[in-house]
Structure 1
Amino acid sequence: MAVRRRRVPAIVAAASILIVALAAAVLWPATYRSTGTILIEQQEVPVDLVRSMVSSYADQRLQVITQRVMTSENLMRIIDRYQLYPERRRKDPREVLLNRMRDDVHFSMISADVVDPRMGRPTKATIAFSVSYDSPSAVIAAKVANELATLYLNENLTSRRQTADDTATFLTAEGDRLSKQIDELGVKLAAFKEQNVNNLPELSQLNMQLMNRAEEELRETDTRVRSLDQQIVYLDAQLAQLTPTEQLYTETGQRILSPADRLKTLKSEYARATAIYAPTHPDILRMKREIDGLEKQVGRVDTGNDLARQLSDAKSQLAAAREKYASDHPDVQQLERLVASLHTAMRDAPLTSEAVRSDPDNPAYIQVSAQREASVNERAALQKKNAVLRKRIADYERRLSASPEIAREYSTIMRELENAQLKYSEVRQKQMEATLAKNLETERKGERFTLIEPPMASEQPASPNRPALVVIGVLLSFGAAVGMVLLLEAVDTSIRGRRDIEALVSVPPLAVLPWIETPADRAARSRIRRLSLAGAATSFVAAIVMVHFLYRPLDVLWAVAWRRFFG
């Protein structure tokens, strides 16, 4: 009954909503979307053989590339190139145009279930992505989408090459720096070795052995020197018992004196004879001539010692004679003259006078003297050797005492050199890998973007969805009609039946008179029925026409339906 009473407002509300929906479906301008799909292909060369320098995941790189592509410069260049948004460009600032452009660009990733080769468990991986652009013109949408896809392809290629180039350049510079550092450490190590050529740590054991050997030689040399000292003392004692010249005897057993000994004897006899005889005595003259001849032959001899001994003996005899005899006794006078003569001879032949001695000819003396001279020479050589050995031992001790500090500095330099060489080897290995990766990217054998579905001019608009708008309009029209009926019933306070009276007075009525339909009511109901049927027919026809022109031709729909249900 409520629907019958409120049918006119309900029809008006439903018709209004339906007309608005139909107008929106018909008048809403079409927006075309052109989409390009780009496949992320893995590198052709196995990763175990050549590693790429781009180590980030595909979705991370896509986000970075998207930020680089969607820069204001790139978008404004596309807007200017294709004359996008002509109405807005006359009145809106650049920021508004860029925001509108970013809203019209759509980016989506395409993932697939794969098995992670490193972890061995299933995961989702990005294998492709799509780039779309919405425009009122299908051709413009395709051109802009192609431009965006090209930017993605070029940016990926450029970024990968740039990454490979930067990595190779960095590793080359780092390798050169480490090579220079190694050269400097090598020069430093060579200078250190040159300064401490005998104190290096690897020579410590050798220095210790050499010092021990030198100490043993020194002990042996000292022992030999002490032995030679004893031998020299023994030989000196033997020499003291031997005369340099060999004693010769006549057939009668009388000793034959050498010229030097004969000269000494004659001088002693001459000093004694001058005390007894006058200077003109024949014996005095004979001894004088013989002394002069011998001096010419052997030169002057040292007679001071002999004269001193004779003088001492003469003084002793004189003292003894004076005790026995008077001063005028001939023996006393003779001894006084002898003492005076010896004093005179002492003045003529002092103790320091030079003497020319003949070479020794006693074989025993010569042998012992040669042994002594050899021992003395050997002792002098051993003394020199001792000095050299002591100096050498002091040098070894200095080396060993300085060895710990030198070893510390040496180990520091060697550790720095080994670390630099290790780093250099690692960098050079990485540089070779970077060079291979660079060639991989240059020849496009690495991971790359491939446009598998280029953007094309769409034949069907992406929006609006006109059939959906019509369906939504129909649903909303029914909803509006129901809502209008419920709203009017809720605000209406008039009494229309037995229930309203019972609710109002809480007393049941005595009788209920039925609705008496008049001819006017029947005519009005028939008119409304005809209008409803006409409106429904008109809506159905309009819906059929809109489906034919806005969604898909009716013959195509009929063929599709026939093939689905009867084919």
Structure 2
Amino acid sequence: MIGGGGERGTGWLLDVWRRRKWLAIVVFAAALVAGVTAARYVPNVYEATATVLVEEPQTDLAAASRLDRRLQQITQEIQSRSRLEQLIQAYGLYPQLRSRYPAEVAVQRMRRDIRTEFKAPPVAGGAASTLAFAITYRAANAVTTARIANALAAFYLEEDVKLRGRKAGEAVQVLKEQLDDVTRKLQEQRQKMGTYPVDSPAGLPQQTTVDLAALGRLHADVRSTSDERLRALDRRNDILRRLAEAESTGPAATLEAPTRLARLKGELAELRRRFSDKYPDVIRVQAEIAALEEQGATEKPVPAEAAPVAPSAAVTRLKDSLAEVDAEIRKLKADEESFRTEEAAYTQRIDSAPQRQRALEEVSRDYQATRDTYDSLRRRYEQARLDDVAEGSSGDPRFRILDAAVVPTGAAAPNRLMLLGLALAAALGLAVGATALSEHLDTSFHSVDDVAAFVSVPVLASIPRIVTERDRRRQRTRFCMATLTVLVGLLLVATSFRSLARVEDGLVATLARGRS
């Protein structure tokens, strides 16, 4: 049914698409949903590396050969079944594998997750040289990777001490030197952590909640002090008003206009030193001065020899009250400034808490890794002191931990972008394959040309399909049911692959090995 010309082939492809488009769409969607779900929920794989330094007192061909044999022997010992089972049991590794398969499966899996890489080959000759090698462990838990890598590096040191055949005292000395190195590094990191004010709870990032509560109390104190100061200012204004009334209605009213004008100008100068020109009392005094100056030309001045009248008792009491209110206002203003200073200090402390937290976590991570190494070396050092086994001395190289493994901050696998690309390509391939297979297995005729190409007799007539309204309703019903079924199927596929990606250890290991 496929024509030889390009135009006929294109038309046939369009016919196939019209007949099989829903099959292709469903297969493509199912495959894509499965792939995207697996790529999204597959667990991360982390890697941590510990570096061991080999100190060689002498290097020649024989020494290099002995070193190679010793490294191979130590590697075999560390990756033995008994040693790996101890690690698996101690750290609770591969719980799903151990629950479903024999213990040997978990041991084989751990052997695949351990990688030893030499940083530099042994140098033959008379000059001294060093050799460093890295022990890398991968797992789905970042903290576990660092601990296992440090434990494996510590095993190398332990087996190195045993295989060098030294006496118990010499073995203790080697461990003591390694312990001293780690102790010095631990002290340096402790000094870095000492820069944080751990003795003062207010300097720790954990005190943010307490600081926020204190800041809230300071806000309330500032508002309360500000309200009290405003009330005091209102009382002061009231006293000034009453004082002005008392002075205008009492004996002071008999003062000469020039004398009162001078007094008002002095009061205006005093008010301007304290307040702005828009202050109500300043405006009031200015108005009184202007009124007196306007009346100066019409009023007859009183002889200057008139004696001033002493202020009344009410005026004296009002002035005393005014002094008390002024003192209270100054105190409230000082308290408010103090509260605002403390408020700014707490605000700055709260704003800088995230930066202090990140810096403290970074220092604590390195300190914890060194602390784990120190604890491991300390236990072996104490055990070596109790050993009374005489061992022969040798001049073989010694191992020393150069860099302890730290908790990785980023995942090493899987490459989710690559997985999404593979899922898209696989979905397209499956859709095309399903369409081609369905078309190949379909032996029915779909057009008059198909019939004419298959039989030798001419086609006399073509009867189109008669579709009634009932047929259309049935077709819509079948389409809705099929759509619902497809959606439920896609949901089941997504749920199944999500669960599979989360629990299948073998899938994670395969993706991690594919990346490395």
- Asked if TM exceeds 0.5, the reply is no
TM-score, scaled relative to structure 2: 0.37
TM-score, scaled relative to structure 1: 0.34
Larger radius of gyration: 1
